[in-house]
Homo-oligomer: A and B are copies of this chain.
Amino acid sequence: MNNFIFQNTTKLVFGKGQIAKLKDLIPTEKKIMLTFGGGSVKRNGIYEQVTAALKGHNFIEFWGIEPNPTVETLRKAIAEGKEKGIDFLLAVGGGSVLDGTKLVAAGICYDGDAWDIVLKGQADDSIPFGSVMTLPATGSEMNTTGVISRQETQEKYGFNNRYPEFSILDPEATYSLPAKQVANGLADVYVHIMEQYMTTPGQSRVMDRWAEGLLLTIHEIAPKIKENQHDYDTMADFMLSATMALNDFIRMGITQDWATHMIGHEITALHGIDHGASLAIVLNGTLKELKEQKRGKLLQYAERIFNITQGGEDERIEKALTKTEEFFRSLGLATRLSEVGIGDDTINAIAEKFNKSGVAYGENRNVTGDVAKAILLQVK
Name A's B-contacting residues (CB within 8 A).
1-18, 171, 202-206, 209-210, 212-214, 216-217, 220-221, 232-233, 236-237, 240-241, 244, 249, 252-253
Q: Which residue of B lies closest to A16 (CB)?
A: B3
Given A206-B241, A210-B213, are A11 and B3 also a contact pair (CB < 8 Å)?
Answer: no
Closest to A12 in B: B6
Interchain CA distance A240-B2 in the complex, whole Å: 12
A228 to chain B, nearest CB (A): 15
Closest to A240 in B: B206
A202, closest chain B residue (CB): B233
Chain B minimum-CB-distance residue to A233: B1
Task: Please state if A1 and B237 are interface contacts (CB–CB under 8 Å).
Answer: yes
Distance between A375 CB and nearest chain B CB, rounded to angstroms? 30
Assuming A5-B14, A206-B217, A249-B249, what are 18 further A-B pairs, CB within 8 angstroms?
A1-B14, A1-B233, A1-B240, A3-B14, A4-B14, A5-B12, A6-B12, A12-B252, A14-B252, A14-B253, A205-B220, A205-B221, A205-B237, A209-B209, A209-B210, A210-B210, A236-B253, A240-B253
Pull 29 A–B residue pairs with CB atoms less than 8 Å apart, ordered by A.
Answer: A1-B232, A2-B15, A3-B16, A3-B18, A4-B12, A4-B15, A5-B11, A5-B14, A6-B12, A7-B12, A8-B8, A12-B252, A14-B253, A203-B233, A204-B236, A204-B237, A204-B240, A205-B216, A205-B217, A205-B220, A206-B237, A206-B241, A209-B209, A209-B212, A209-B213, A212-B213, A213-B213, A240-B252, A249-B249
Contacts of A11 in B (CB 8 A): 5-7
- With A2-B15, A14-B253 in contact, is A244–B7 under 8 Å at CB? no
Nearest CB in chain B to that of A249: its residue: B249
Chain multiplicity (copies): 2
List the B residue with the shortest CB-CB distance to A211: B213
Cα distance A210–B245 when bound, in Å? Answer: 12
| 7 smallest beta-carbon distances between A and B, as pairs | A3-B15, A209-B213, A7-B11, A1-B236, A6-B12, A205-B217, A205-B237
Closest to A166 in B: B7
Q: How far is the CB of A113 from chain B (nearest CB, A)?
A: 33
Question: When chains A and B are docked, how far (Å) is the Cα of A214 from the Cα of B208?
Answer: 10
**If the complex has contacts A6-B11, A14-B6, are A214 and B206 also in contact, measured as CB distance less than 8 A?**
yes
Please indicate the chain B residues that have their CB under 8 angstroms from the CB of A17 in the complex: 3
A216 to B207, CA, bound (A): 12
Return A252 CB to nearest CB of chain B, in Å. Answer: 7
Distance (Å) between the CB of A214 and the closest chain B CB? Answer: 7
> What B residues does A3 contact at CB under 8 A?
14-18
Assembled-state Cα–Cα distance A204/B243 (Å): 14
Distance of A356 from chain B, by nearest CB (Å): 36
Chain B residue, CB-CB nearest to A11: B7
Question: A112–B212 Cα gap in the complex (Å)?
Answer: 50
The CA-CA distance from A232 to B14 in the complex, in Å, is 37
